[in-house]
Amino acid sequence: MNCNEIEILLADYLDQSLAANEVSAVEAHLSECAACRELAQDATLAVTFMGRAESVDTAPSELVNRILFDVTSADGHGLGKSRWSRRLFGSWMRPVFEPRLVMGMAMTALSLGMMLNFVPASRFNPASVWTATEDKVIRWWDESVKFTQSVPMVVQVQSRYQEWSAESETPASESGEKQQ
């Protein structure tokens, strides 16, 4: 038996729910392996400690009464008394005061604050923001014009158009000369 198998069988060994041949194999490994023997001793101490703990058969009656009163006297979201936020804003703002939303907003604000520490303050100057935006728009426009002009289909259409316009001019002038 190896150490991994002992770790798997240790709980059953302590509960004395193993077969006799498995018990003898576990005990043989524990007599040979110091690490597993120490693990088994720690587990035995934990089990005996939990066994000494006082068992609670029933909860105190005051606790049960308090829980029942708090749960039944409210609409299920606030225990007992209505919170000031619910009295002030009513139930239409309830989703705003949910802990998940508040935590998400706090984490968003924290993340933005951390990111803004890495951005220099000069980047927030309106003139520099406008200049940077204008530069990006001009670059985008130039790149899109270059792209549309370099697309093979556009090039073919342009070349065909030029050929057709050249052909339409040439026969008209030749036909005009022939008629005279």
pLDDT tens column, 45-71: 988 888 887 777 777 888 888 888 877
Within-domain flag for 110:
no
Quick check: 16 and 47 in contact, CB under 8 A?
A: no
Residue 93 and residue 101 in contact, taking contact as beta carbons nearer than 8 Å: no
In a domain, 37, yes or no: yes
Establish if 175 belongs to a structural domain: no
Give me the average pLDDT of each 10-residue run along the chain (180 residues). Answer: 88 89 91 92 90 77 82 56 66 75 91 83 80 92 84 82 86 53
Q: What pLDDT, on the 0 to 100 scale, is given for residue 109?
A: 93
| Residue among 52, 45, 53, 1 nearest 24 (CA) | 1
Hey, CA dihedral for 124, 126, 127, 129, is it positive or negative? positive
Structural contact between residues 9 and 26, judged by C-beta atoms closer than 8 angstroms: yes
143: domain range? 130-166
In a domain, 18, yes or no: yes
Tell me the CA distances in angstroms from 100 to 82, 85, 86, 104, 136, one per residue in order: 20, 16, 17, 6, 38
Judged by DSSP in three states, 90 sits in coil
Out of 14, 31, 52, a domain closes at 52
Q: Buried b / exposed e across 64-82, counting CB within 10 Å, b at 16+? A: eeeeeeeeeeeeeeeeeee
- pLDDT of 178: 53
Considering the domain boundaries, does residue 145 fall inside one? yes
d(CA 108, CA 114): 10
Domain count for the chain? 2
Could you tell me if residue 89 is inside a domain?
Answer: no
Q: What is the pTM of this model?
A: 0.33
**Does residue 148 lie in a domain region?**
yes
